[in-house]
Amino acid sequence: MVDSLYIAATGMHAEQAQIDTVANNLANMNTNGFKKSRVDFSTLMPEPLPAARTDPATTTASWRGMGVASAALADFTPGSLKQTLGEYDLAIQGNGLFEVQLPDGSFAYTRNGALHVDSDGYLVSADGYPLSSMIQIPSDMEKVLIGNDGRVQIKNQNSSQLIDAGYIQISHFSNAAALTPLGNDLYVPSAGSGSAVYSRAAENGAGSISQGYLEASNVQMIEELTNMMTAQRAYEANARVLQASDEIVGIINNLRK
């Protein structure tokens, strides 16, 4: 009976994680490139009942679970594209992420393509992290063209010809849902996601790049509100189990008196 207290408590913890995840999704509905998270539930390691310990012929019904565990996973379903006509606004249509370099020299990944040029002329993310492709834009440029394949071409004020400035590469993962979020729309690899695979845009399964567009978040308000209500009801159900178990334990204790 005491086990039921702990099992109900794990259910309450898991549903609280679901509520927190939904709240974060809703808070970022209007964040460019934001990817919602979903909570994955799994049964904690089961243990055999006393009969199963002594009788190998017992069925799986003679085992009991020890509650539920939860883990938040990123959902990389695409969001809708918003046309901005910004020269440095980029959206990925399909799989993949932009790779940026963090101040410590490590790399992170994002779908937010709201770029700009820093004081040194490099294309950087909204937070000022340079693209790993290290694309540099001269100060005297007149126009920047970025193709669907990530090719960057610039036109100087004193020239009518386009000059190649490099390629923006796309990174993708075998299991992007297992990427670890850092905040600010940034992710880093984990053991479950595998290492980044690099390719040019629109090649080898990577998405293409659209200049003058930004990807909206993939959060759907109705879906999130439904998940919120479901989680609240499940939390209440676990709370009732906890209360009922506590009352039964109290009755058993009072039998001694």
Clarify whether residues 176 and 193 are in a common domain: yes
**Looking at the structure, do residues 85 and 209 belong to the same domain, yes or no?**
yes
- 111 pLDDT tier (thresholds 50, 70, 90): very high
Q: Quick one: which of 76, 75, 71, 74 has its CA closest to 18?
A: 71
pLDDT in tens, 171-207: 999 999 999 999 999 999 999 999 999 999 999 889 9
- The verdict on 180 and 236 lying in the same domain is no
Q: How many residues does the chain have?
A: 257
Q: Per-residue pLDDT for 76 more than 80?
A: yes
Q: Does residue 52 sit in the same domain as residue 141?
A: no
- Structure confidence at residue 62 (pLDDT): 58
- Domain co-membership, 86 together with 176: yes
pLDDT at 50: 62
Same domain, 61 and 23: yes
Per-residue pLDDT reduced to its tens digit, 200-255: 999 988 999 999 999 999 999 999 999 999 999 999 999 999 999 989 888 888 88
Distances in Å between the Cα of 181 and the Cα atoms of 20, 41, 190, 244 are 15, 19, 10, 38
Model pLDDT, residue 214: 97
Residue 196 and residue 110: Cα distance in Å, rounded? 12
* One domain, residues 246 and 176: no
Give me the helices (H) in 62-127, please.
none
| Cα-based torsion angle of the residue sequence 239, 242, 247, 251 in order, rounded to the nearest 10 degrees | 170
Written as six digits, the tokens of 79 are 């969001």
Question: Do 34 and 109 belong together in one domain?
Answer: no
Instruction: Look at residue 64 in the predicted model and tell me its pLDDT.
Output: 66
* β-pair partners for 136: 122
For residues 126 and 223, membership in a common domain is answered with: no
In which domain, by residue range, is 90 found?
A: 81-215
What's the distance, CA 123 to chain centroid? 24
Same domain, 20 and 139: no
Query: Would you state the pLDDT for residue 66?
Result: 83
Of 66, 26, 24, residue with least CA distance to 183 = 24
Average pLDDT over residues 52-66: 58
Average pLDDT, the chain: 91
Domain check: are 104 and 181 in the same one? yes
Q: Which helix (H) or strand (E) holds 85?
A: none
Number of domains in the chain: 2
Q: Rounded CA gap, 123 and 105, in Å?
A: 16
Share of the chain above pLDDT 70, in %: 91
Please tell me whether residues 97 and 195 are part of one structural domain: yes
